[in-house]
Structure 1
Amino acid sequence: MTQDQVTPLRWHGEVLEVLDQRLLPAEEVWHAYSDAEGVYRAIHEMQVRGAPAIGIAAAYGVVLAARGYAEAPDWYSRLGATMDWLAQARPTAVNLVWALERMRGCLGQVADSADLVAMLEAEALAIHREDAEANRAMGVLGADRILAEREGPAQVLTHCNTGALATGGQGTALGVVRELFRRGSLACVHMDETRPWLQGARLTAWECEREGMPCSLNVDGAAATLMAQGKVDWVVVGADRITANGDVANKIGTLPLAILARHYGVGMMVVAPSSTLDTETPSGDRIEIEERDGTELRRSGRRWLAPNSVAVFNPVFDVTPASLVDVIVTEKGICEAPGNQVTPLDSLT
């Protein structure tokens, strides 16, 4: 895989290939799926992760399901049920439901199952292509905003992985970092390791190293020290869901970063496609937060890190109040001070 080919998904018409991100950077393993069941498993087991990439994968899963049901007398109802089921693979990521609703919009437009398969495939490809275009737009807008109030190169802290591996293009938050680097305006990107799956250490560091970006990996708990030492100008993160009032659900550990940023006078930027905006949910306390098996904390590979019987709290996401966010960037524009709705969020949908 060359630098310009970093992608989590490869579509071949009748097969979806998924890069198993659980194994990076040690191994580059691709799994081929020819049915929706395999795609569900890839999403649920975090072979593919990142809200935009999850939505794209699910869209292709619908195409595979439609191909499999094409000869069945009840193909229409089975396809609808499969979409409902795929939506449960990772319930916090709103892009998943958004992408499935776009695919559902194709139902009823044609009566022939073969025509429907073709229409669904065209829609899935469009979702994938549009995400790549949105990534480029967000990178430009985010970099412009950061450089508007400073003269020299920026020092950025990011969390989890929000790059090409999490999207259909160059990334959301990491897309902004890439744009800063292209302009010669990136001093350093500090990367939280992001426990317990270490997406920052395994994935973001892998992407940044491949492109020669100035970067430094830190344990999650070192973020406060970096800010206290004046080594961070902006925290730039992605989002899995942004509610109508501007609250942001993102990878666990984002909320502490926002609190620290406010204390130390560091900018807090959230970068996400407009498909992540959930205007139907009024605030973050209404979001269903996914909790995962405690074994993810108790064990690393075959090595036990904690007693097998110890109780574990393992939420995948936390919710950052809009009042702690300075800027939300989508491909359609920028919302300043979302807690005050200076720019109404619904204008970016």
Structure 2
Amino acid sequence: MKNNKYLKYLRWLLLAFFLIMVTREAYLHQVQGGGVAPSVHALCPYGALETFYSLVFGGTFLQKIFSGTMILLGITLVLAVIFRRGFCGLICPFGALQEFFGIIGKKIFHKRFIMPIAIDKPLRYLKYIVLVVTIYFAWKTAGLWMDPYDPWAAYGHLSAGYESLTTEYLVGTIVLVIILVGSLLYDRFFCKYLCPMGAVYGIVSKISPSKIVRDKDICINCNLCSKSCPMNIDVAEVDKVISTECISCQVCVLTCPKVGALKYKTGKKTLKTLTVIIFVVGLFFMGVFISKTVGVFEVLPKQITQESQINVEEIKGYMTIKDVSIGTKIEIEEVYKKLGIPASVPESTKLKDVQNFVEGFEVEVAKEKLK
């Protein structure tokens, strides 16, 4: 049981690592721009589903989505086939955020609340509705239409400040607050009821050979496995956990006081918790490493060169004055003139920093002037 305690801490440590890593990238994206650090959309597998139609029929990614996003989707789908929703339980940074809020909630209320079955059951289907609606409108609008309403996008813009959160991301921020407050009361609130990616992994997990198996001869019916499950699966009442809600977090196995009463099996092979963690995290990093090595993993826009050709609408704040000139094929003197930028401002200045030299300068207004 002592080893189980250490494995619980190891799992939390891994979740914290992924959450901190993505939070850092989101902060850098806001402070230094999209050319330096990827957006949270580029680091989320769901962005790949939203861009799939555009990529297949138009040959282009949606804005903020790159090849690396598609690879992340591929890697996590492979994980779902082998280890069910193991990505959700061991890697997902948004899942980690909810879980840590859950720990805080347990400290405050000294218990975890469980949604009544009459409410819980229909709410579980909400994530499938969210999945269908977001993909439909992504295809229909050929854009990330969900962005302003996305709680994960709102989280990624926390460092952008109050104005961004209360204007462009107002709805997303409200949803984020609801999710975090919900997570103080209920385990994995978003994962259970709203996460469209969880819906995808749940569907894929139906063909997974992995499952939690309960040995009735060893089980002492203490019900601790059911009480500890963050997805509220009644583990103690089934012989095999094959629910699409299972996130392969291993919490029930680690909580069980009887060795061998609960086993994680992939096919006929029993895997120890540490082995599952190593395989899930290892396969994830191996997929990223291999794709980076062969040069196909990209989560940032390509650097602008003389061969680049961008239209005015594609101009971003992280681009320099020189980048704008090269990419749009507009003479740099004309760019300075059109935008009213003094010649003393270096051409290496990022557009979002021009406001330090020109009062009231705005990137969106600059784009209109260059059209």
Relative contact order, CA 8 A, sep 6+: which one is greater? 2
TM-score of the pair, normalised by structure 1: 0.24
By percentage of residues, which structure has more strand? 1
Larger radius of gyration: 2
Select the structure that is richer in helix: 2
TM-score (norm 2): 0.23
